[in-house]
Amino acid sequence: MSALLDLMNLVDVDQDSFRATGHGPAGKRAFGGQFLGQSMAAAGRTIPAGLWPTSLHLQFLRGGDSGAAVEYAVERLYDGRTAMTRRVLARQDGRLITAATVSFAAPLPGPSHGERGGLPEDPATLERTGPAGPAPGLPLDELDIRITDSGVGTDFARRMYWRATVPVADDALPHTCLALFVTDVYLIDPVLRVHGHAMSDRSHRSGTTDASIWFHRPVHADAWNLLESRSPAAARGRGVVTAQLLSADGAVYATAVHEGMAVVRE
């Protein structure tokens, strides 16, 4: 199995309790996207067929260890006929790392919009840049990432095209987990880019503090996707980034809002 897919392949420990592996050097800070994807994977293991992921809201309480296993405990908050909600707590060595609320629902008839009719660029023609800085917590040989930035100051916008280069099973859950994993790849960077800095220049202490993602349509992680992000506000050492996730046909399949720390290093 690939390293990327293995991250989302949780092992049963007990009823509604699971264990996951990490990726990266032991003792180094874990990549936040790991907890986003694995929390969805843990919640999804308790959901029957026919319900789709609709949202995940996660708080990062402590930094994790990229080389350590993670224990996930799932609490069944609500089981309805067409919707279910789970609470997921992640721990390493007994220490609480993240707390998440994850929701699922059955598709129902209703209005539909958010189709753009295609991506703004052909990602296949762009340079394969990789992430916007060092990423030891990512299996980069299994992710094709191509970034284009535009604008300065508050007009700064980032387009990150990405796809998994390994085959992904035809199941909504692993595709959704991988999309969540990728959303945290330097997503707080626009907060600093507005001011002429970057996470990679280490001028600021930075990192995601909480994340919310709503899923509107199915995800296809092994096809081209676009994560389009910008930062509308920052103050008091924290900033917010809003993002839309688009599929290869230009349909918006998810909306994300992340808050992150951005504190000047002394």
Report residue 196 as tokens. 């002429």
The one-letter code for the residue type at 7 is L
Q: In the prediction, which pLDDT does 5 show?
A: 94
State residue 227 phi and psi, 5-degree precision.
-110, 110
Domains of the chain with bracketed CATH = 3-107+120-264 (2.40.160.210)
Q: How far is CA 143 from CA 85, 95, 102, 202, in A?
A: 30, 30, 25, 24
pTM, rounded to two decimals: 0.96
DSSP 141: G
Place of tokens 């907060």: 191
Per-residue tens of pLDDT for the chain, all 266 residues: 699 999 999 999 999 999 999 888 888 899 999 999 999 999 999 999 999 999 999 999 999 999 899 999 999 999 999 999 999 999 999 999 999 999 999 999 999 999 988 999 999 999 999 998 888 878 889 999 999 999 999 999 999 999 999 999 999 999 999 999 999 999 999 999 999 999 889 899 999 999 999 999 999 999 999 999 999 999 999 999 999 999 999 999 999 999 999 999 98
* Cα distance between residue 6 and residue 2, in whole Å: 6
Q: Find all residues with CB under 8 Å of 56, minimum gap 6, and list them.
A: 36, 39, 40, 43, 100, 101, 102, 103, 180, 211, 212, 213
Largest distance between two CA atoms of the chain = 54
Return the SS3 of 192: helix
